[in-house]
Structure 1
Amino acid sequence: MNDGPADQARHSWPDRVAVAALGTAIAVLLALIATFDYGRDQGIYAVVGRTILDGGMPYRDAWDFKPPGIYVVYAAARALSGGAQWGIRALELGGLAAMVWMFCKLAHRWWGQWRIGLWAGFLAALVHAQLDFWHTAQPETFGGMLSVAGLWAATDRQATRHRWPYLVCGVLFGCAGLLKPPLAGGGAVVAVWAGWQAMQSQPAPGRRPNRWRQLSRPAGWVLLGGALPFALCLLWFWARGALPALQETLLGFTPHYTALGWQEHQLVELVGKALLEWLLGYCSLITAGLLLTLVLWRRLQSQSGIALLLGVVAIQLLGVALQGKFFPYHYAAAWPLTALIAAVGWWHAWRLAVARGRGAIALFCLALLGAGVLRTATKDVQGSFWLRSARRIHLYVLRAEDQPAADGLATVADVNAAANHRLAAQLRQRVAPGDSIYVWGFEPVLYDLSERPSASRFIYNVPQRVSWSAEASRHELIDELRSCPPAAIVVASKDTLPMVTGDLSDSAQALQGFVELRQLIGQDYRKLMEIEDFELHLRRQ
C-alpha cells in the first residue's frame, strides 16, 4: 500500500522506527493471546461446538442461552484443532491479523495514510490482550471483527458502482448479529451513511425521487444481506428439528435473564454507564487517543469516516446498555472501531512531534508510555496486565511444561484451573470412554477436559437455579438422569452467580432445595472424594 495524497511528507527514520516498533508490538501481543486458555464461557461454547460436530444441535442437545453464532465458531475451531483449546485462539489470531490489514485499507481510503491502520492494529491488539483469557474469544470478540470487515466491504470503491459490496456488508453484519443481535444494527448505520454519501456525490441536486433512490439503494442491499444469515440459521434449525428449542431458549429464558440487569434502572442510566465505562473505564491509551482525535478534529481529512465509526460504536454501546450486565467482554465489539478512531489522534500527534524534532519525539514517547501504564483493560484476574504478561513470557519461553504455573494464569474467582484438571483426570480414570457424566454446577469445561459426554442437555445448572425456569427444567433434568444414569455426578460449591441467577446461593445450596436430585445422588451414588470445591460421586455397582 502506498501513501495517498493526504500525506506527502517524506517518511524519515522516526517513521520507519515507529512502523517497526508497532509491528513488533502487534506480534508480541498476538503471541500473548495465543497462550490464553479457556475461561468458563469458553468451556460452554466448546461443549456446544463439540455437540454440533457430533451431530447434535444447540439448545436442544446442549443448552446455553447465547445466540447460535458463537457455537458455530467454536465448532469450526474444534474441527481445526481436533478439540484442542488452541483452535479458538488460532481463529482469534487470524481474525486479529486480518483486522489489522483491513484497518490499513480503511485508513488509506479515508485519510490517505495506511500507517494509521497500523496504529489502530496496535491499540486493538493491546486492549484485546489486556482483556485476558476470561473476556476474549467471546461472541463480541468475533462480532467486532465482522463489523470491521463489514465497513471494509461497504467502503470499497466498487460500492459506488456495484451492489455486491453492500450485499457483502449486510451478510457480515448479519453474521455479527448471530453472535450478538445488537451488532447487526451496525449495518443500518452503514446503509444510512452510504446513502448519504451517494446523495452528496451527485453533481446536481436532482429531483427528490432520485435523491431518495440514492439514499435507499444501499439500505436495500445491506438489509437483504443482513437477512440472509438469519434466514439460513432458522432454516438449519428447522431442518434439524431444533427450532422449538431455539425459540424456547432465546424468546423464553433469555429475556428473563436480561431483565435482571434492568432492575431498578432506567435506560438513560444504563446508556450513560455504558458510555462512561467505554470512555474512562478501560485502556487509557484508547482514551488518550480519542481525546487527541477530538483536539485535532480540524486537521482530519475525512471527518465522515470518523462519523461512520462513531455511529457503529454507538449502536454497539446501546447493545451493552440493553444487556444491563456491563461485563468487560460486552464492550469487546466496540474496541476495534474505537481503536481506529483513537489511532487517528495518535498518528496526527506523532506527525506533529516528528515535524518538531527529537525533543518533541521524546516527549511524545514519554506521553505514550505514561498513558499506557496509567490504566489497562485487565479486570477480574489476579495481577496487572504487565505482571501477567511477564509471567506468560517467562512460562512459555522458559518453562513450557510447567502446568501449575499455566493453571495459575487460568484461574479466576471460583474457577480453579488446577482443580478442573485434577477432577478431569479422575473422571477419565474412573469413567469408561462413552459413558456419560453429569456436573451439577457451572463448570461445563469438565465435559471437555474429561472427554466424557453429558448425561443431560443441561451442561450447567443455571436453568434449575433461576426462579423463572427452575420447576420445568428440574423435572426435565431428573427425567434425563433417570432414563440415562450417568456413571459419575459432580457437585460444585462456592459458585455464586448473582448477576446470572439473581441470588447468592451456590450449587451445593441449591441442591438442598432440589429434593429429587439430592435423593437420586444419595440412593444411587457414593461419594468418592472432594477436590477443591467439587464432590465426585460414582454410581453404585
Structure 2
Amino acid sequence: MLEFDEQLYLLIGDRLLHGSLPYVELWDRKPIGLFLFYAVVRMLGGTGIIQYQIAATLCVAITGSLIWAMARRAAGPIASFGAALCYILLLMTFHGTGGQSPVIYNVLTAIAAWCAFRSNDTDSPARIARLALIAMAMMGTAIQFKYTPVVEGMFFGCYFLWRFWRIHAPIAWTVSVAMAMILVALLPTIAAIGFYAATGHLDAFFQANFLSIFQRHPFPAQTRGGQETLTVTNGLWIILLIPVAIAWRWFKRRSDEKPDFPLILGWIGAALVGFGLLGDFYDFYFITVLLPACILIAPLMRPSRVGFALGCLLLFWPMLSLPSYAFKTGLYQRVAGDLTTAIRPYVQDRCLYVYDGPAVLYLLTNSCAPTRFIYPDHLTNPTEAPALGVDPAAEETRLLATRPGAIVTASSPPIPHVNPATQQLVRAALARDYVLVARVPSPDRIFYVWALRSLHPGPSPIRGASPNMPF
C-alpha cells in the first residue's frame, strides 16, 4: 500500500498471467510494457509486493550509478556522488518509494542519455550510430512504460543527428541511420499494436492508450492548483537550483569542452515539456525531470562551503518534507492485513468491489472483480467520466447488480470531487443490501468493509454503524 498506482500495475500484471487482457478485461491507459514488467515480477513468487519493490530498488541503483557517471563529466567524484544520492532520496518526496512508472523507466532514459554523452567523445560515424541505436531502443522501450518519454526520445534522436552533422558525416549515411533510429524506437509500440490487431481488440487498445487521455474533463482549478503546489513544495530546492546551475555551467564553459552543456540543457528542457505535456502536474511525474536535474546541479555541490551547504539542504530536505508516519514500519501492512481478514469470508463465491480503497485487496484476497474498471478512481472521479468508453453510472448499476460479496469504501475520497451519480448508486446499494462488518483506520483515512446481507445475517458488529455513514 505504498502508492495507489503501483497496486493497480501489480494487480493487472497478476491477472495478465491468468489470461486477462489489459484494456479489454482490465482497463487502464498505461502502455502494455508496464504491465508486462509487473507480470514478470509476479512470476518471481510470493504476493509480488516485495518482489516489485526489489526490482524497483535495482532500477534506482542502476539509475543512481548512471547519474554518478554522467555527473562525473562536469563534477568531481564527491559532488557526483551527492547528485546520485540526491536523486535516490528525493524520490521519497515525489511518491517514488516503490514502483511508480518513472522509477522503472528512468533507468532506460539514463542509459539513452549515457549513450548521448558518450557520442560527444568520438568522431566515428559508426560508433555514434551504434550509440544512437542503443539509445533509441531504450527510449522506445521506455515509451511502453509511459508515453510522455517520447519527448525526451525525440530530443535524443535529434541530438544524434546533430552529432552526425558536426562530424560531417555523409548525408546518405545520416538519413539511413535516422530511418533505422526511428524504426528501432517504434518497434515496441508497433509490436503492441500488432498484437491487439491480431487478437481483434485494436479498438480497445487505441481507446485506452491514445484517445482516453484527451477525452477527460479538465481538472478543476482547485485540483490543478493543489498538484502544482505539492510539486513545487516537494522539489523546492532542486527547482530553484536548476536556473542557478544553468547559469554556472554557461559561465564555466571552455572553448575546448565537449558539447555536454547543450546536451544537458536540451535534455532537461525535453523532460520539462514531457512533465507538462498532458496538463497533469502530479508530483510523481516530476521524477522524470529529477533525473537530468540532479546531473545538472552536480557541479554546485563541489567541495566548498557553499557546495557542502547545498548538498546538506538537498539531502536532508526529504526527511523534513515527509509526514512522520512515512518513517514508521508496519502501519500499512496492518491496514492491509485487517482489511484482507475482514473481506475474505465474503468473497469465496462472489467478487469483491473496491469502490474506494486499495486496489491491491483484489490480489490479497484472490478475488474476482465485478468490473474491468478495477482502479477506484476511474468510476469515482468525474474527470474520468467521458474517457472510459462507457457511462460510469451505467457501469456502476451493472456491477452492483452482480451483488458483490463485499464492498470497500472510505471515510473521505482521495480527490476533492467525486462522481455524484456513482456515489449515490453505491450508497443506495449499501443501505438496501449490505451490512458494515469492519472499520479499519489508516494514517490518512478510515476504510469500511460492507458484506452482502445474505452472507452476514443479523446486525452490524460495528457500534454506531449506519448505511448513511459518509464516504
Pick the TM interval, shorter chain.
0.7 to 0.9
Q: Does 1:421 align with 2:330?
A: no
Deviation at 1:184, TM superposition (A): 1.6
Q: Distance in 2 between matches of 1:315 and 1:367?
A: 25
Deviation at 1:66, TM superposition (A): 2.9
- Partner in structure 1 of residue 105 of structure 2: 143
Q: SS where residue 49 of structure 1 aligns?
A: helix
- Partner in structure 1 of residue 164 of structure 2: 198
Match of 1:540 among 451, 454, 457: 454
Gap regions ≥5 residues in structure 1: 1-36, 203-209, 354-361, 393-404, 411-416, 499-503
5 Å-filtered alignment, 1:307-346, equals: 307-346=262-301
Q: Distance in 1 between matches of 2:2 and 2:360?
A: 8
Cα deviation 1:161-186 (Å, max 9, x = unaligned): 15443222112112222222121221
Q: SS where residue 244 of structure 2 aligns?
A: helix
Q: Distance in 2 between matches of 1:343 and 1:81?
A: 39
Distance 1:263-1:485 versus aligned 2 partners, 3 A rule: closer
Deviation at 1:463, TM superposition (A): 3.9
Deviation at 1:107, TM superposition (A): 4.6
- Partner in structure 2 of residue 475 of structure 1: 394
- Partner in structure 2 of residue 255 of structure 1: 214
Q: SS where residue 329 of structure 1 aligns?
A: helix
Q: Is the 8 A contact 1:45 1:71 kept in 2?
A: yes
Distance 1:322-1:112 versus aligned 2 partners, 3 A rule: closer
Match of 1:406 among 330, 343, 346: 330
Question: How many pairs are equivalent?
Answer: 440
Distance 1:253-1:367 versus aligned 2 partners, 3 A rule: closer
Match of 2:196 among 226, 237, 242: 237
Distance 1:445-1:166 versus aligned 2 partners, 3 A rule: same
- Partner in structure 1 of residue 463 of structure 2: none
Q: Does 1:459 align with 2:374?
A: yes
Q: SS where residue 180 of structure 1 aligns?
A: coil
Q: Distance in 1 between matches of 2:310 and 2:375?
A: 47
Q: Distance in 2 between matches of 1:468 and 1:199?
A: 46
Percent of pairs with identical residues:
18
Deviation at 1:520, TM superposition (A): 5.2
Deviation at 1:253, TM superposition (A): 3.1
Q: Distance in 1 between matches of 2:408 and 2:234?
A: 38
Amino acid at match of 1:325: D
Cα deviation 1:237-268 (Å, max 9, x = unaligned): 33444433222223443223373268999xxx
Q: SS where residue 537 of structure 1 aligns?
A: strand
Q: Is the 8 A contact 1:60 1:242 kept in 2?
A: yes
Q: Distance in 2 between matches of 1:478 and 1:119?
A: 54
- Partner in structure 1 of residue 462 of structure 2: none
Q: Is the 8 A contact 1:293 1:341 kept in 2?
A: yes
Deviation at 1:328, TM superposition (A): 1.0
Distance 1:115-1:227 versus aligned 2 partners, 3 A rule: farther
Q: Distance in 1 between matches of 2:49 and 2:22?
A: 20
Match of 1:71 among 30, 35, 38: 35
Cα deviation 1:424-480 (Å, max 9, x = unaligned): 111124432x74211222531221232322122121344434242686243345445
Deviation at 1:490, TM superposition (A): 2.7
Indicate the larger mover: 222-231 or 240-249.
240-249
Q: Distance in 1 between matches of 2:86 and 2:216?
A: 33
Q: Distance in 2 between matches of 1:524 and 1:367?
A: 59
Q: Does 1:497 align with 2:415?
A: yes
Q: Using CA pairs below 8 Å that are at least 6 residues apart, which structure has the higher relative contact order?
A: 2
Distance 1:83-1:107 versus aligned 2 partners, 3 A rule: same
Deviation at 1:106, TM superposition (A): 3.5
Q: SS where residue 197 of structure 1 aligns?
A: helix
Indicate the larger mover: 213-222 or 144-153.
213-222
Q: Distance in 1 between matches of 2:290 and 2:40?
A: 24
5 Å-filtered alignment, 1:261-280, equals: none
Distance 1:105-1:528 versus aligned 2 partners, 3 A rule: closer
- Partner in structure 1 of residue 114 of structure 2: 152
Q: Is the 8 A contact 1:285 1:371 kept in 2?
A: yes
Deviation at 1:68, TM superposition (A): 3.0
Match of 1:306 among 237, 242, 261: 261
- Partner in structure 1 of residue 23 of structure 2: 59
**TM-score, normalising length: structure 1:** 0.70
Q: Is the 8 A contact 1:100 1:117 kept in 2?
A: no
Distance 1:121-1:140 versus aligned 2 partners, 3 A rule: same
Amino acid at match of 1:339: C
Q: Is the 8 A contact 1:111 1:300 kept in 2?
A: no
Q: Distance in 2 between matches of 1:61 and 1:129?
A: 33
Q: Distance in 2 between matches of 1:120 and 1:190?
A: 22
Q: Does 1:294 align with 2:238?
A: no
- Partner in structure 2 of residue 437 of structure 1: 352
RMSD across aligned positions (CA): 3.7
Distance 1:123-1:421 versus aligned 2 partners, 3 A rule: same
Q: Distance in 1 between matches of 2:174 and 2:43?
A: 43
- Partner in structure 1 of residue 185 of structure 2: 226
Q: Is the 8 A contact 1:526 1:540 kept in 2?
A: no
Q: Is the 8 A contact 2:230 2:283 kept in 1?
A: no
5 Å-filtered alignment, 1:346-361, equals: 346=301, 349-350=302-303, 353=304
Gap regions ≥5 residues in structure 2: 441-445, 456-471
- Partner in structure 1 of residue 88 of structure 2: 125
Q: Is the 8 A contact 2:32 2:144 kept in 1?
A: yes
Q: SS where residue 182 of structure 1 aligns?
A: coil
Q: Is the 8 A contact 1:490 1:537 kept in 2?
A: no
Q: Distance in 2 between matches of 1:510 and 1:530?
A: 25
Q: Is the 8 A contact 1:99 1:148 kept in 2?
A: yes
Q: Is the 8 A contact 1:47 1:62 kept in 2?
A: no
5 Å-filtered alignment, 1:20-39, equals: 38-39=2-3
Q: Is the 8 A contact 1:195 1:214 kept in 2?
A: no
Deviation at 1:332, TM superposition (A): 0.6
Distance 1:366-1:141 versus aligned 2 partners, 3 A rule: closer
Q: Distance in 2 between matches of 1:295 and 1:277?
A: 28
Q: SS where residue 332 of structure 1 aligns?
A: helix
Cα deviation 1:364-415 (Å, max 9, x = unaligned): 5345325544x44976x523xxx95xx45xxxxxxxxxxxx521xx5xxxxx
Q: Is the 8 A contact 1:280 1:287 kept in 2?
A: no
- Partner in structure 2 of residue 10 of structure 1: none
Q: SS where residue 441 of structure 1 aligns?
A: coil
Amino acid at match of 1:166: A
Q: Distance in 2 between matches of 1:437 and 1:80?
A: 25
Q: Distance in 1 between matches of 2:231 and 2:175?
A: 32
Q: Is the 8 A contact 1:284 1:372 kept in 2?
A: no
Q: Distance in 2 between matches of 1:40 and 1:333?
A: 19
Q: Is the 8 A contact 1:279 1:287 kept in 2?
A: no
5 Å-filtered alignment, 1:388-407, equals: 388=326, 391=327, 405-407=329-331
